Structure 1
Amino acid sequence: MYIVKSLITIQQIPTEAWPARNKTIYFDFVCDFEANDGWKDLTNKGKVTLPKKVRYIDENGKEINLGNKNANIGGFSDTPPTFLRGDEVKIEAGYQYKSGDQDFVQTATYFKGFISKVSSKKPFTLECEDLMWKLKQTAAKGGVNGVFASSKYSVEEMLSELFKNGKLPYTVNDISKTQVELGIDFRVDNESIGQVLERLRKDLYLKSYFRGTELRCGSVVYLEKETQLYNFVFQENIIDDDLEYQRKEDIILSAIATSTYSTGKDGTTSDGHQKTKQQKLQVLITLQKDGTFKRTVKLPGDNTEFPPNNEGERHDFNYNGITDPKVLGDQAEAELMIYYYTGFKGTFTTFGIPFVRMGDEVALTDNVLPERNGTYKVSNVEYKGGTGGLRQVIHLDYKVDPIVKKV
């Protein structure tokens, strides 16, 4: 028998109004929670729903009842609030179970971040964001008068300087050991570090996400050295699914590949840097039924629209520094072929173990139709827990191996 175990830890952060707020609060009973682990959005989010009769365990092991009329749960009265925007949150969950004569407890950290909003209605809910929340609150300061020259800074060096000046205890591409060239002179002006990352995503197509306290920023998302492989079997540990099995000969694929790069132009800025102009090169590639690709090129300055996507899948691929349409098309074709396979697309729901994270791989086994067996990369995981048990909704990105591997 598997018994759900959860521990939600909230560390109060002192504020100017309440400098003595520094308690550590533990909810060691099952609260309803949600969280996710993915890379497509800049911020991973969580939510904790507290029961009607709220109680918690303090750092001394004492049970505190928040149901009395004098309790200020979310800062809605004059007494020191129990929860405030900016308090640290950690959600851990798993199972207690017996194997043979031994009892085991297997838990994992589902979420770590900060409270971003406290509801004023019952039941009380704590909306949370991961470490990106802190970057959104921290001013971006650095460079020379706010300018990071591409000749002196990589993306890692720029972000590391922003972290240092913001007194943030985070690293940039440390474990991942990637190095991304900035490519252009980058200016920060009256914005947060979170807004800088949004601009890097929008203008330079650099994806960002946190893994632990390491910010990863670049064009590469998955690190194979971290990948774990887990087996899932239909009618066993796959509870439900929204999967569609497609044969590759029935798939219609296209992609718009975009490369941004800068070119010099006459004159200098007020800071003495050469003026630059941002250029955008695009190629529409379409995989045709005979297996060949068709390309349509849009050179910088061409404002015509590509034909709309009326059927099939259309992807967006983004690169930096590619100025040759052929090179851009070749690279996009290779990336598009990742999605040209016979197999599943979509999501499936499973229990809380094995604990899966973004970037892991899942081997799906169908004992009734074994030709559908295959291994897939995970792009996102939605976590849900509470009185209804633990669930993971696993999103497939693409097929990595037609043969089920053993773990």
Structure 2
Amino acid sequence: MAVNTLDVLCCKITIGDADPANPMAIQDPVVLTEVQEIEIVETYKKLTGTARVILPKGTVYQSTIIGNATLEGNDASRITTEVMEDGVIIEKRSSQAAVGKDTFHTGQRINIKLGYNGILKNMFDGYVTAYNSDSLFELRCENMAYKLKLKQAPKFETPLSTKVNDVLGDKYNLLKDTGFEIHSETRRFDINIGKVKITDNFTVADVLNDWSKYRVYCFLKYDENSPDAMPRIAVGRPYSSSKAQPSFPGSDNTMPYRICFNYHVAESNLKVLKVDPKFLAVTAKALGTDEKFFEVTVRLNPDYDAGKAGSKEFQTINATQISKKTHKVTGNTTASGAATKTKVDLSTYTVVPYMSPNMRIDSDKLVEEAIEYFKNYNLNGITGSVTIFGDFGLPSAVQVELIDDLNPSKNGVYIVEEVKTIFGTKGYRQVVKLPYKVK
């Protein structure tokens, strides 16, 4: 008779001082292997991911004391020696103690590994940014992008044809002395970011976060060739920005994670969308030649007659000129139709956003792109989230293949937009947010 195995939750939380010479190293670490709850949230739409660690009072941690440090209040369980490179012999004492109000402090490095049955996967690297020691010990953390919030960006101005690789690479040196590099797969995308002007007191994180308004998203991603090294800056566009590039660095040259509903899924909050193309609209946004945002919306023309000369298949509606602070209708010629102040009510339509990957274009070109995107839009996709067990330890911006034998309409390949990892007394789960189907 077959015996079902029991999967035992395991975690390893390492916290200590940051090493100025090696950001990934943790000095004088304490190690925790018990926890009440961990929550990690990361998405490709935000540079900075977060983690929250909750520990009950009395949680025991392990630490290593070097040399003749005092052991008062600690349980010295093992003494070892180690020969350093210069021939000096040092004494190490492994000890245990209960977490106290002075155990942690802000600015410390933290690493979180999670898994089952002693097989752990690296899930988070970052810094402690807040610490609450009231009824429970709670650590609030940010990922390694925290370092970029502390680095002043160099002041420079670029021409209109600037590429992302120019800004992050040797040409403008935005990442100089940050410890970060461009992800190896990002360079080949060669994304045009347009004119970049840094004349004020911005941090490197401010600059990278600002690109999200163009739907150019910067996020941290480990290089598969060296997973234990510093995470790198990955840059990509979502599926809603370019039908020719529905993927992110490293996500299109590997097999998708296969998620079987009858095995991996704990809970599903997915909704299957069957969109009538007669009630579909695409709202396209771009940066015009006057360096202001504008948008146009296209939908099918209800009076379209293919056999009638001059009949147009699509209508252009709700053209607007957009300032940085508000959306307002103006008569600017960069958005034809913007002078019409009466807006079409699209509350009964499925409105799909589109961000042009081309900078400094006119409204005619944007309408062409929106129509092309409309024609290629996947009308039968799904939205929502699915909660899976911690078997995969998924990051964001990877491809997953859903396999549901009972509801095959869900089957297909999707890009993971956001992952919320929950670990603790209620188990190990990942809430995976999915955009529309891409394959």
The answer to whether the superposition gives a TM-score over 0.5 is: yes
Aligned to 1:54: 59
Change (3 A) 1:55 1:308: farther
Q: Is the 8 A contact 1:279 1:300 kept in 2?
A: no
Q: How large is the RMSD of aligned CA atoms in angstroms?
A: 3.1
Deviates more, 1:350-359 or 1:245-254: 245-254
What's the offset of the Cα at 1:394? 1.2
Structure 2 counterpart SS, 1:132: helix
Aligned to 1:100: none
Aligned to 2:8: 3
Structure 2 counterpart SS, 1:217: strand
Change (3 A) 1:107 1:305: farther
Structure 1 counterpart SS, 2:252: helix
Whether 2:157 is the aligned partner of 1:119: answer: no
Change (3 A) 1:387 1:184: same
- Percent identical pairs in the alignment equals 22
2:114 to 72, 85, 93: 93
Deviates more, 1:302-311 or 1:40-49: 302-311
What is the correspondence of 1:125-164 to structure 2 with a 5 Å cutoff? 125-141=138-154, 146-150=155-159, 154-160=163-169, 161-164=173-176
Structure 2 counterpart SS, 1:400: coil
What's the offset of the Cα at 1:209? 0.9
Aligned to 1:279: 292
Aligned to 2:30: 25
Whether 2:291 is the aligned partner of 1:256: answer: no
The one-letter code sitting in structure 1 at the alignment partner of 2:15 is: I
What's the offset of the Cα at 1:284? 1.1
Give, in whole Å, the separation in 1 of the partners of 2:403 and 2:161.
51
Q: Is the 8 A contact 2:397 2:417 kept in 1?
A: yes
Q: Is the 8 A contact 1:114 1:128 kept in 2?
A: yes
Aligned to 1:395: 433
Give, in whole Å, the separation in 2 of the partners of 1:249 and 1:149.
44
What's the offset of the Cα at 1:54? 2.6
**Equivalences, count:** 356
Q: Is the 8 A contact 2:186 2:235 kept in 1?
A: no
What is the correspondence of 1:147-296 to structure 2 with a 5 Å cutoff? 147-150=156-159, 154-160=163-169, 161-164=173-176, 167-177=177-187, 178-202=189-213, 204-212=214-222, 213-219=231-237, 222-223=248-249, 224-249=251-276, 252-262=279-289, 277-286=290-299, 293-296=314-317
Structure 1 counterpart SS, 2:434: strand
What's the offset of the Cα at 1:322? 4.5
Q: Report the TM-score, using the length of structure 2 for normalisation.
A: 0.71
Structure 1 counterpart SS, 2:129: strand
Q: Is the 8 A contact 2:252 2:399 kept in 1?
A: no
Aligned to 1:18: none
What's the offset of the Cα at 1:89? 1.6
Q: Report the TM-score, using the length of structure 1 for normalisation.
A: 0.76
What's the offset of the Cα at 1:237? 2.4
What's the offset of the Cα at 1:176? 2.0
Structure showing greater radius of gyration is 2
Aligned to 2:85: none
Whether 2:103 is the aligned partner of 1:66: answer: no
Change (3 A) 1:155 1:230: closer
Change (3 A) 1:353 1:326: same
Q: Is the 8 A contact 2:114 2:123 kept in 1?
A: yes
Deviates more, 1:327-336 or 1:117-126: 327-336
Q: Is the 8 A contact 1:228 1:360 kept in 2?
A: no
Unaligned stretches of 5+ residues in structure 1: 16-20, 74-81, 97-104, 263-276, 402-407
Unaligned stretches of 5+ residues in structure 2: 1-5, 21-25, 65-91, 223-230, 239-246, 305-312, 321-332
What's the offset of the Cα at 1:151? 7.2
